[in-house]
Amino acid sequence: MLTLSAEKREALPKSTVTHLRRRGRIPGVLYGKGRESQLLHVDQGEMIRLLQQEGSNAVLQLQLEGKTEAVIVQEVQRDPIKDQILHVDFKTIRMNEPIDAEVPLAIQGESRGVKAGGVLQQQLWSVEIRCLPGQLPSEISVDVSNLEIGDVLTLAQVPLPEGVELLSDPDQVVISVLEPQSGAKEEAEAEEEGGEAAEAEEKE
């Protein structure tokens, strides 16, 4: 588990928050069950490296005012234009108590249907799960290699890591493989016919 150092900040005007960002600091807040919220700020470079290594659902040790607490990165606010981190929320957790989290779905493989000219359509990009903090995955893998044209894959068919409970509706469609567009279908059939013709000539 990675460690991140934080410093306390006061509830000061917006101009002070802007000054913090110019110094390479990210303003944030720490909160949790049975405790008062604390304003803080962390190093921008450290935070970026942590998110790159652990993902947006990172579980880490946060050092603040001489104390170290297990926390989860609950929310990261970004500037949509500059893609700069503007604010981060940390939530205190207990390693022996389950937490709820939203985890991205990662498509793996190339489906048979796509190889045959079909079109892969992803309809769900993340999933709600519950597990112990130490078992929290950075993503859920979705293998599509066996899907044929016309197949539909729902959340119920996606294997989950050990200890992970699905909270989202299991009937939600994750992936569907659609029929190819008419032009693409004709082209695929022409290529297939051409291959068969060439094979017949070789036999003669």
Q: What is the length of the chain? A: 204
Structure confidence at residue 181 (pLDDT):
73
Residue 168 main-chain phi, psi, to 5 deg: -70, 165
CATH number, domain of 9, equals 2.40.240.10
For residues 40 and 68, membership in a common domain is answered with yes
Note whether 191 and 105 are same-domain residues. yes
Single out the residue in 43, 59, 93 at which a domain terminates: 93
Query: Band of the pLDDT at 117, cuts 50, 70, 90?
Result: very high
- Backbone φ, ψ for residue 191 (5° rounding): -65, -40
Domain boundary among 54, 77, 93: 93
* Domain boundary pick from 72, 93, 114: 93
Count CB neighbours of 138 within 10 A.
13
Give 53's contacts (C-beta < 8 A, 6+ positions apart): 2
pLDDT tens, position by position, 50-80: 888 887 777 889 999 889 999 999 888 888 8
How many domains does the chain fold into?
2
Structure-token match 């796509």, residue found: 114
Comparison of pLDDT for 98 and 180, the residue scoring more: 98
Verify that 13 and 53 share a domain, yes or no.
Answer: yes
CA atoms of 35 and 132, how far apart (whole Å):
21
Please provide the average confidence, as pLDDT, over all residues in the chain.
86
200: pLDDT strictly greater than 70: no
Taking residue 1's Cβ as centre, other Cβ atoms within 10 Å add up to 11
Report the 10 Å Cβ neighbour count for 155. 20
Name which residue leads in pLDDT, 170 or 9: 170
Q: Which two tokens stand for residue 109?
A: 């493989």
Q: Is residue 46 classed exposed, middle or buried when 0-12, 13-18 and 19+ CB atoms within 10 A define those classes?
A: middle
Closest CA to 72 of 125, 127, 134, 24: 134
Residues 154, 69 share a domain: no
Range of the domain at 165: 101-203
Mean of pLDDT values over 143-150? 94
Q: What DSSP character marks residue 120?
A: E
